[in-house]
Chain A
């Protein structure tokens, strides 16, 4: 039979997300959230900010949207159920888009995101907030009015060029650079969850992100 008719797609993407991932930790260069050790100050916060430049979840287009996970690791990183997460979903998303993002990142759609969601002990809450994610190449601002404000700039070489770790192990997408940035300001306050921090001059890494689940 001639190959004129398009064969039905055998694999369907449950979700396919592309964009950047920015992660910063409250515990200075090193996060002492380790074996039997309590983190500095008794706890450790990590921000994981996703920006999806292109994405589709269960047939819903989520391109251009943001999601921020506030990971709160109260003690030992390996203690089952010790990770507590507050999920912040972009207010720019429609109800359908929000639902798709939440279902994917809480693991309801299976795949690698479900495997990772399995590491979380408690999802403390999901909040719909306006997220301004204007960081690219390790430079810019991440702002959630009244809650989070982070400003960062990449490390630069002696000649003023941006330090990238091209083709490096720091990046998930082969051939794309990862940017090591210094967060000059990082303020977070969310009284509802009893979360507060403020620090300066900590490291952050921004790298390309890709996550997909085919069925």
Chain B
């Protein structure tokens, strides 16, 4: 019920974007297009790098909508309510969402280019190519360890207190709206970059991981037990990472289970 009343206070286009993002990913999975949009496939596809990056960023928008918007709904709802009194409320809101999406798009682009580097390293280095679990395992360890960092705490604090965030930096106009979205996006990035990096280790548009990670981010940012959950999730990720490194076949079967 609480979720429903919250959704009623969120601008409809945002709800539509979240549902659309998930619909896109599920549809891609069902029709086998998910594989085609997978960053690994894109990198190995022989497409020009820029085209692969553009395709990836297009698919990545659906990932942002599906995975990142849900945990930011509180600030989104507050901003849209405050901005309703502006001279151009819709444009301001679009600029706000644009700023938020810009941060995550930039992150996606950097991670994608980094992934090209990882692939090149794997191609050049037979030892690494034969041990792909080293990449997913170390990403899991990194994400797990980050759960215990002070940066995570600080960013999460801002994410969880949208009213304080807004009171301190709200201003009218499109540039201000974009900046508010951008800054909120930076805090979210500070909280969740390591979790989103996991999407690269496990494969963009892998439904099981997407669902699990979205749930984790929503709990961390919005639930009462979020603070304690951060540590618990950290421990789980560290254990998964250790499993990936120590028992690659078992980990592979765990990941394959949908």
**Assembly CA distance A60 to B2 (angstroms):** 45
Given contacts A37-B224, A211-B171, contact A30 B157 (CB under 8 A): yes
- The answer to whether B2 and A118 have CB atoms under 8 Å apart is no
Interface residue ranges of B159-179 to A (CB < 8 Å)? 160-164, 166-172
- The answer to whether A32 and B223 have CB atoms under 8 Å apart is yes
Residue of A at shortest CB range from B82? A115
Binary contact readout B60-82 vs A (1 if CB under 8 angstroms, 0 otherwise) = 00000000000001100110011
- The answer to whether A37 and B222 have CB atoms under 8 Å apart is yes
- The answer to whether A29 and B82 have CB atoms under 8 Å apart is no
Given contacts A46-B164, A77-B162, contact A34 B85 (CB under 8 A): no
- The answer to whether A34 and B82 have CB atoms under 8 Å apart is no
Chain B: how many interface residues by the 8 Å CB criterion? 42
**Assembly CA distance A111 to B173 (angstroms):** 10
Of the candidates B78, B86, B153, B223, the one whose C-beta lies within 8 Å of that of A119 is B78
On chain A, the residues within 8 Å of B222 by CB distance are: 34-35, 37
Binary contact readout B21-40 vs A (1 if CB under 8 angstroms, 0 otherwise) = 00000000000000000000
Of the candidates B153, B160, B166, the one whose C-beta lies within 8 Å of that of A34 is B160
Residue of B at shortest CB range from A174? B179
Give the interface size class of chain A: 35 or more
On chain B, the residues within 8 Å of A34 by CB distance are: 74, 160, 222-224
Q: How many inter-chain contacts with C-beta < 8 Å in the A-B complex?
A: 112
A206 vs chain B, min Cβ distance (A): 10
Majority SS of interface residues in chain B? helix
Interface residue ranges of B223-242 to A (CB < 8 Å)? 223-224, 226-227
**Assembly CA distance A33 to B186 (angstroms):** 21
**Assembly CA distance A170 to B154 (angstroms):** 10
Interface residue ranges of A1-50 to B (CB < 8 Å)? 21, 23, 25, 28-40, 46, 48
- The answer to whether A31 and B9 have CB atoms under 8 Å apart is no
B72 vs chain A, min Cβ distance (A): 11
6 shortest A-B CB distances, which residue pairs?
A: A36-B2, A115-B82, A172-B169, A32-B224, A34-B222, A169-B186
Name B's A-contacting residues (CB within 8 A): 1-3, 5-6, 9, 73-74, 77-78, 81-86, 153-154, 156-158, 160-164, 166-172, 183, 186-187, 190, 222-224, 226-227
- Other A-B pairs, 10, CB within 8 Å; known A23-B164, A40-B224, A83-B163: A21-B168, A30-B161, A35-B3, A37-B222, A46-B164, A71-B163, A76-B2, A112-B171, A116-B166, A169-B158
